[in-house]
Amino acid sequence: MPTAKTTTKPPRGAKAALAASDPVLDLIEADLDALERGATAWAHVTLDQRARLMKALHTTVSAVAEEWADTASTSKGVEPGHPLRGEEWLSGPYAVLVAIDAYRATLEKLASGLSPLDGIKTDAAPGGRLRAHVFPQSPVDGLLLSGYTGEVWFEPGVTDDEARRAAGLAQLEPTASGGIGLVLGAGNVTSIPVLDVLYELLAHNRVSILKINPTQNALLSVFQRALAPLIEPGFLRIVTGGHDVGGALTANARIAHVHVTGAAATFDAIVWGPSTDSGTGGTAERRRRENRPLLKKPITAELGGVSPIIVVPGRWTKADLRFQAEHIATMRLQNSGHNCIAAQVVILSSDWPQREAFLGELRAAYDRAPERPVWYPRSEEKLDAAASAHPSARWNASRTRVIVEADAASATDLETTEYFSPVLGVVSLRGNGQEFLDAAVEHANDRLVGTLGANVLIDPATMDALGDGFEHAIAGLRYGTVAINAWTAFGFLTPTCTWGAFPGSTAADVQSGLGVVHNALLLDRVERSVVRGPFRPFPRSVPALLRPGTFSVLPKPPWFVTARTGATVSEGFTRFRMDGSWARLAGTLVQAFRA
């Protein structure tokens, strides 16, 4: 569908960013021409047609899923046969497939005149909040991930009627165009750029130009084929390149909005400019003080942070100590620690009688996790920096991961530096029960940088003893995702949950970012997501059979770095999402019981 070209020359900012690279600028302008036509076309695509588009995407993503997982694994130095290759199945094609299916269900409801919240239970959460129970939504979810639940908590004061009326976001006005957005893709987890593009399109009616991070260049062809149903009609273009290309796109007048997944320093460079005066009218700090951002268009961001694991003292069995130690090792070591949501600071009670026994299990779990490369740029220097700052730091045998036990006075770097590498800190506070939990919540809120996600481990008996005090403590955690006896990454993988920083950040103090993504129910005025998992795996979970949300049939979740069959099960779960073969799933579940 033809449309007028709004500019025939790159704007001054783009020209400056790319200097004399005219061929690159020409390609960018050609892509933007196609996207302008695509934005016009998208406004004429009905909700029914959008749901069918999700079905087409399911087919194309499934067709490249194996190549996707293999390419991503190999690019990170995880060779064929490695026990952790399953990570790339789950965090790549699996995450995208379940999101596509969830968006399709939302579009079908809207096309039928229903709210995306139709059929979903809501009830009260502490502090005058409404919450929606968004996972599981099907027997399949309940089978594959038994014992896990997900909730979305709305901002205080949102009523049930308001939440249901507003659900759908831009799809409530499908003919209103959001223009062209720029998605600056993450470099660590391969599903992130794709999920961000989907959210731009469906939450905002915004077509996108996606610049993939150079660490994911090997996946360019895979992404192009997986997303062909979006590329062909002009709803998406994918480009590669470094900071020069990103700068040219950010400055281009035809870009209406920017979304970035990365570090706070990257966000600040985009919004406030370089730290030194390079003809931009002052340093970034001066521009920030004077509220003179270089970026004149809206921006959203997911920027990570330092995530806590609050371990509430209780009476744990030896098996509990070992399982939860492996749980924490997974939170830190999945993807070699190169995750925005990798847990970094364990908060223990110095008064817990089992503290030393737990630390012994944690050290052992950290050591016995399979070896893999520390592959993300500059990660090795970050490991060295953490160890140098703490002479008592404990390296593993291959010197690829570090545990640091520090008192509150010497833990500043652990609590304010997102190491983005296998650095795990342990700090201790006084107290037991509610006293400890409240102190740990306050410590996490006030001392740790970022608001993306927090993890809480607590045995059922202690949770029962705390009663309402436990839920009020959870409400007091200022984090966008809170995981109870689960890892916050479960919230990332659950498309009906939201993903992003706790509300309240600003461009001048961005913390873990602005806005949310995923959110396949397209909910408005969301404050956080809360996910819950089983404290004990099968068969030790059997006594909790009648306790909702605590019984699990999984002996060990396949994403645990210590799961012996994790690679096979993760691939099997993904293939079931691809083709729905129950025969294949039966074999996968047998492997899950051998984890």
Find tokens 């299916």 and name the residue: 101
- What tens digit of pLDDT does each residue of 478-500 get? 999 999 999 999 999 999 999 99
Residue pLDDT, tens place only, 430-474: 999 999 999 999 999 999 999 999 999 999 999 999 999 999 999
Share of residues in the chain with pLDDT > 90 (%): 86
- Look at 314 and 18; give whichever has higher pLDDT: 314
Answer whether residue 375 is part of any domain: yes
Examine residue 489 and state whether it is found in any structural domain, yes or no. Answer: yes
What per-residue confidence (pLDDT) applies to 11? 43
Whole-angstrom Cα distance, residue 223 to residue 220? 5
**Residue 543 pLDDT > 90:** no
Percent above pLDDT 70 for the chain: 95
Supply the range of the domain harboring residue 484: 307-493+528-540
Predicted pLDDT at 275 = 79
Is 93 a member of any domain? no
Q: Over range 357-365, report the average pLDDT.
A: 97
Segment 287-299 mean pLDDT: 93
pLDDT at 20 over 50: no
220-264 confidence digits (pLDDT tens): 999 999 999 999 999 999 999 999 999 999 999 999 999 999 999
Cβ atoms of 423 and 382 within 8 Å: the answer is yes
Residue 481 lies in a domain: yes
CATH number at residue 442: 3.40.309.10
User: Total structural domains in the chain?
Assistant: 1
Q: Long-range contacts for 402-407 (Cβ within 8 Å, ≥24 apart)? A: 403/362, 403/363, 403/366, 405/359
Using pLDDT thresholds of 50, 70 and 90, give the confidence band for residue 279.
low
For residue 314, being part of any structural domain is answered with yes
**Residue 231 maps to a domain:** no
| 3-state DSSP assignment of residue 211 | strand
Torsions phi, psi of 395, nearest 5? -80, 155
Domain annotation covers residue 132? no
3-state secondary structure of 483: strand
Residue 573 has a pLDDT of 96
pTM (2 d.p.): 0.94
Whole-angstrom distance, CA of residue 192 vs CA of residue 93: 10
Q: Which residue has the tokens 């404050």?
A: 527
Residue 352 lies in a domain: yes
